[in-house]
Amino acid sequence: MLSFLKKTAETIRSIVPRTQYVAPEILEEALIGADMDYDEVEALLDRLVEPITRDRLRFGLLELLPAFEPLKITQNPFVELIVGVNGAGKTTTIAKLANRYKSEGHSVMLGAGDTFRAAAVEQLKRWAAKLDTPIVAAVEGGDPSAVAFDAIASSLAKKRDRVRIDTAGRLHTQKNLAEELKKIVRVCGKALEGAPHRKLLVLDGTQGRSAINQAREFNEIIGIDGIIVAKLDGTAKGGAIYSISRQLQKPIIHIGVGESADDLIDFDAHSFTDSFISPFFP
């Protein structure tokens, strides 16, 4: 079983008697306990044929996760814009992505676009120093669009092939943040045609399915391309993964499972589902 699902598994085991088949009412209680949305649970139960075996449950859960083709990167530099609310783990996730790309042999440029919080800029600067990665930053209160433009321009000049740009994470309902994000996207396109090439939303896994509304807000503002769920190792809400991906029709790209630079794993629907259902059966 995947170690970051330990708390989710403990919750399920506290509800389910491990038998060859799982009763619908027990399955319902366990899935809701793991923070899957009630409507998703009911739709799943309607489709499942009894007796509910491991294979039938596995197939039903996999159907909840939209199929998406792996990303093929053809642009150079490849620019990613990272968004999410404060406290979701956005800045640390950017560092993890930078570390991942460096380990794959890529050259990375960071843009500290969360100019609303000096602490966020300093945190990303510390990560940049630790990872020996160049960073473009501005003073607190500076124009985040200018940071994005300069990060891309500097990447072009220095022939860096991966650009990660942080953004402010103030409450997603604030109109000024929405306009700021839209401006950043426009300015990225001026710095490099087609940029940003991917917009990733970082969600706090400890919020579970309650993060769906904020995800919808960000998607309406700039149109997100994928989701990274951080802090999933610290929660029993692993079932929310199915509701988040299903309702938003966006792929889960990565999962954050710790605080170190290496604690970022690719999301694999099959291995995740195999681990998720393992507490249900002997």
Name residues whose C-beta falls within 8 Å of residue 118's C-beta, 6 or more positions apart in sequence: 140
pLDDT values of the chain reduced to their tens digit, one per residue, 282 residues: 788 999 999 999 999 998 999 999 999 999 999 999 999 999 999 999 999 999 999 999 999 998 888 888 889 999 999 999 988 999 999 999 999 999 999 999 999 999 888 888 999 999 999 999 999 998 777 899 999 999 999 999 999 999 999 998 865 556 788 899 999 999 999 999 999 999 999 999 999 999 998 899 899 999 999 999 999 998 999 999 999 999 999 999 999 998 899 999 999 999 999 999 999 999
Query: Domain map of the chain by residue range?
Result: 3-67, 78-265
Q: If DSSP codes are grouped into helix, strand and coil, which group holds residue 78?
A: strand
Residue 16: φ, ψ to 5°: -100, 125
Q: If DSSP codes are grouped into helix, strand and coil, which group holds residue 34?
A: coil
Homologous superfamily, domain 78-265: P-loop containing nucleotide triphosphate hydrolases (3.40.50.300)
Q: If DSSP codes are grouped into helix, strand and coil, which group holds residue 125?
A: helix
Give CA–CA dist 198/201, Å, rounded: 10
Task: Let me know: does 195 contact 152? Beta carbons within 8 Å.
Answer: yes
